[in-house]
Amino acid sequence: MAILPIITLPDPRLRQTSKPVERVDAEILRLLDDMLETMYDAPGVGLAAIQVAVAKRVVVIDVAKKDEKPSPVFLVNPEIIWASEELSSYEEGCLSVPDYYEDVQRPARVRVRHLDRAGATIEFDAEGLLATAVQHEIDHLDGGLFIDHLSRLKRERVVKKFAKAATRRGATAEARETEQAKVLDKAEV
């Protein structure tokens, strides 16, 4: 297993729609395992493949608390086939929108259909944090982010903040490369 780099806002790949998996094979199983290790390392409760720059409909989730035994859920080609009218609100965060949290309302209960690790079609009902996590991760597969559920003003503020930070990181990296080039030039003289 390997820890994969997580892409963050404003990376445009986060807005891509992920493609369905044709078959659960060794490559998909390896991806699921790597994603789980990456999610635990981050740490987070859910991770969609697009967050590690793989545009496939693959999700891992584990809502077990720190003092509980891990209980990972592996979802390939997940889809919500029913959602309750009743809503619940959870404070959501995202590994691709680090250090930002907001309350988001979503259906309190959902029924999910997906392929498991063996490629079998499974359905299950989710409520509470698991229902929220499933919906959050499926949003990623459809090119969405939890900030899309916020007011336009809040969403624009978050996007601007992350775009500015990315620009600063780019400028810092460029300055480092320029400085390294100067050092190399002096070493050659």
Look up 137 and say whether it is catalytic: yes
From residue 88, give the alpha-carbon distance in Å to each of 60, 63, 69, 149. Answer: 22, 16, 26, 13
Calpha distance 17→119 (Å, rounded) = 22
Strand ranges across the sheet with 46-48: 46-48, 58-61, 73-83, 109-115, 121-127
* Active-site pick, 137, 177, 179, 188: 137
Assign 3-class secondary structure to 128-164: HHHHHHHHHHHHHHCCCCHHHHCCHHHHHHHHHHHHH
Residues in a beta bridge with 58: 76
Q: What is the DSSP code (8-state) at residue 51?
A: G
Burial string for 172-181 (b: 16+ CB within 10 Å, else e) reads: eeeeeeeeee
Give the catalytic positions in this structure. Answer: 137
